[in-house]
């Protein structure tokens, strides 16, 4: 028998995805991201990005990036530990630590790399990682890379978490959770998690990807909102979402950061972030404090969207948490979600259909996000289009 060619194997696999309604292809935007984006000659309203504060297109951020390129060049040349550690990296790490009011920080090229690096370095053989059932793929992959045992607790369920913690007494135990869940928009009970961790002698790792810049009186995320900054052992945050640029950082105690510099493989074996990203990060931290009105506007937009969606719920849009800038409209079937997204596209509104494996089977959804850059009219327009599309699809 002839062995199939690579193309034949992949064609069969792509066919499976297509039949399951799971084939995806990115839309390509002809210009910067923002509340309004262009595809070819056509303008769309975008309700999909994680640029919550509308910083991605901020001129000051771009200017800081250009200045960094002028001072340090385009590339960084190597891993931080080889020869790629530039003064601007150290400055960005100092800015991150000071922004988060922690002792120290370490930059990673992305949040994905931060999570796999942190989990695989900290949780070693014999340890146990307690991971929320809805944690992000990068956390799941970090658990897979780690040699520790993994115990998955029901989503945000403190009782279940405690039951599992008790079963593993006497070991190093690591609880890991997102603070705002990326596809559901609800928030972890950080106060309760920290309390359990203290009671059982476990450590807490939080991923603030969708909370940094958004939650808390000064935008320091879920830890600030819940008053747990000093009780969380390891804090992961991303620079590519509300902070508008690219990359990620981990903050915590000085020893934690020194250890990660020595043991986080996704830090050690990866070229350091380019100067442009470090320079933009420094400016982004400053902008969060200099322009607090962005957080206020985000809050207003969030309320407007939440109220509008509540009215739409009677049309069968399903439940949503409304706890953050993320609004999931769970519709169930993969094809139904894709069809709805297609209908919105025809009306000039970009909202992605989120399907497995990003979300559990049977919970395909439209995931709407609002940013500080949307106007009230933008939100009213999307609600209007949504109402018509949902009514048509019922």
* Chain residues in the site for ligand PLP (CB under 6 A): 110-112, 115, 136, 138, 178, 182, 207, 209-210, 238, 240, 248
State phi, psi for 246 to the nearest 5 degrees.
-160, 150
Is-catalytic flag, 85? no
Closest CA to 323 of 132, 184, 131: 184
Q: Is 220 helix (H, G, I), strand (E, B) or coil?
A: coil
Q: What angle do CA 274, 276, 278 make, to 5 degrees?
A: 75
Instruction: Give yes or no for a contact between 132 and 193, defined as CB atoms under 8 angstroms apart.
Output: no
Instruction: Give yes or no for a contact between 348 and 273, defined as CB atoms under 8 angstroms apart.
Output: no
Provide the minimum distance between the beta carbon of 4 and ligand PLP in the complex, in angstroms, as a whole number: 34
How far is 288 from 224, CA to CA, in rounded Å?
14
For ligand PLP, which is the closer residue by CB, 232 or 390? Answer: 232
Is-catalytic flag, 50? yes
Provide the minimum distance between the beta carbon of 364 and ligand PLP in the complex, in angstroms, as a whole number: 18
Provide the minimum distance between the beta carbon of 313 and ligand PLP in the complex, in angstroms, as a whole number: 25
Q: What is the DSSP letter of 236?
A: E
For ligand PLP, which is the closer residue by CB, 111 or 275? Answer: 111
Is-catalytic flag, 241? yes
How far is 108 from 51, CA to CA, in rounded Å?
19
Catalytic residue, chosen from 51, 93, 127, 178, is 178
Is-catalytic flag, 210? yes
Q: What angle do CA 111, 243, 136 make, to 5 degrees?
A: 30
For ligand PLP, which is the closer residue by CB, 250 or 383? Answer: 250
Cα 313 to chain centroid, rounded: 26
How far is 151 from 169, CA to CA, in rounded Å?
13
Catalytic residue, chosen from 182, 226, 266, 389, is 182
How far is 361 from 332, CA to CA, in rounded Å?
8
How far is 361 from 95, CA to CA, in rounded Å?
41
For ligand PLP, which is the closer residue by CB, 110 or 131? Answer: 110
Instruction: Give the tokens for residue 174.
Output: 């690591």
Instruction: Give yes or no for a contact between 92 and 278, defined as CB atoms under 8 angstroms apart.
Output: yes
How far is 380 from 17, CA to CA, in rounded Å?
35
Provide the minimum distance between the beta carbon of 1 and ligand PLP in the complex, in angstroms, as a whole number: 42
Catalytic residue, chosen from 132, 241, 324, 389, is 241
For ligand PLP, which is the closer residue by CB, 21 or 117? Answer: 117
For ligand PLP, which is the closer residue by CB, 141 or 162? Answer: 141
Catalytic residue, chosen from 184, 210, 272, 334, is 210
Catalytic residue, chosen from 49, 136, 224, 334, is 136
Provide the minimum distance between the beta carbon of 138 and ligand PLP in the complex, in angstroms, as a whole number: 4
Provide the minimum distance between the beta carbon of 52 and ligand PLP in the complex, in angstroms, as a whole number: 12
Residues involved in catalysis = 50, 136, 178, 182, 207, 210, 241
């Amino acid at each position: 028998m002839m062995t199939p060619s690579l193309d034949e194997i992949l064609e069969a696999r792509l066919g499976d995805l297509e039949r399951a309604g799971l084939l995806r292809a990115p839309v390509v935007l002809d210009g910067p991201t923002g509340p309004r984006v262009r595809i070819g000659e056509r303008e769309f309203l975008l309700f999909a990005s994680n640029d919550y504060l509308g910083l991605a297109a901020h001129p000051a951020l771009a200017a800081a990036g250009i200045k960094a390129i002028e001072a340090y060049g385009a590339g960084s040349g190597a891993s931080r530990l080889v020869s790629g550690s530039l003064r601007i990296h150290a400055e960005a790490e100092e800015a991150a630590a000071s922004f988060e009011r922690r002792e120290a920080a370490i930059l990673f090229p992305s949040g994905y790399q931060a999570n796999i690096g942190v989990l695989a370095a900290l949780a070693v053989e014999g340890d146990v990682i307690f991971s929320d059932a809805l944690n992000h793929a990068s956390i799941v992959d970090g658990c897979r890379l780690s040699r520790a045992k993994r115990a998955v607790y029901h989503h945000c369920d403190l009782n279940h978490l405690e039951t599992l913690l008790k079963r593993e007494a006497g070991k190093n135990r690591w609880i890991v959770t997102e603070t705002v869940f990326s596809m559901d928009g609800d928030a972890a009970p950080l106060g309760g998690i920290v309390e359990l961790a203290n009671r059982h002698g476990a450590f807490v790792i939080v991923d603030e990807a969708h909370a940094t810049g958004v939650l808390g009186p000064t935008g320091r995320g879920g830890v600030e909102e819940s008053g747990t900054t000093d009780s969380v052992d390891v804090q992961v945050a991303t620079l590519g979402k509300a902070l508008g640029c690219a990359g990620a950082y981990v903050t915590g105690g000085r020893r934690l950061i020194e250890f990660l510099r020595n043991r986080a493989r996704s830090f050690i074996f990866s070229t350091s972030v380019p100067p442009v990203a470090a320079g933009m990060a420094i400016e982004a931290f400053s902008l969060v404090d200099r322009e607090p009105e962005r957080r206020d506007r985000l809050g207003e937009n969030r309320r407007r969207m939440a109220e509008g969606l509540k009215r739409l719920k009677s049309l069968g849009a399903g439940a949503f948490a409304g706890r953050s800038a993320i609004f999931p409209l769970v519709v169930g079937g993969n094809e139904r979600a894709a069809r709805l997204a297609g209908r919105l596209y025809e009306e000039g509104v970009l909202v992605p259909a989120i399907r497995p494996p990003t979300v559990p089977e049977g919970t395909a959804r439209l995931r709407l996000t609002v940013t500080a850059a949307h106007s009230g009219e933008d939100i009213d327009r999307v609600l209007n289009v949504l109402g018509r599309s949902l009514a048509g699809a019922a």
